[in-house]
Amino acid sequence: MSERTAKNWISGSYGATAGHLIELMRHSDTVLAVVLELAGRNEAMTTERLKRIKEELAGVLTTIETICAAEDDQTAG
């Protein structure tokens, strides 16, 4: 998508195609949230956000465990 395309959409000169909208939703949580809200599917966004948060937390916990293990190795050695 080009800047000109986006400007045309914003000005109302041309509308986005379904393919463009799907691509925007794929790359923008804000666009996805607005579309789901307009469709009356807010719960779908909440579920998706919770899945992402859970995955991010799992990554953080793994990092914490790695750091703690490294500190334990240093104090033991």
Give the position of tokens 């794929």. 26
Of all residues in the chain, the percent with pLDDT exceeding 70 is 97
32-58: pLDDT as tens digits: 888 888 999 888 778 888 898 999 999
pTM over 0.85: no
Q: Which has the closest alpha carbon to 45: 58, 28, 62, 61?
A: 28
Measured between alpha carbons, how far is 56 from 30 in angstroms, rounded to an integer?
19
pLDDT value of residue 21: 86
Q: What is the mean pLDDT of residues 2-29?
A: 84
DSSP letter assigned to residue 12 = T
Counts of helices then strands in the chain (DSSP H, E): 4, 0
Residue 1 has pLDDT above 70, yes or no: no
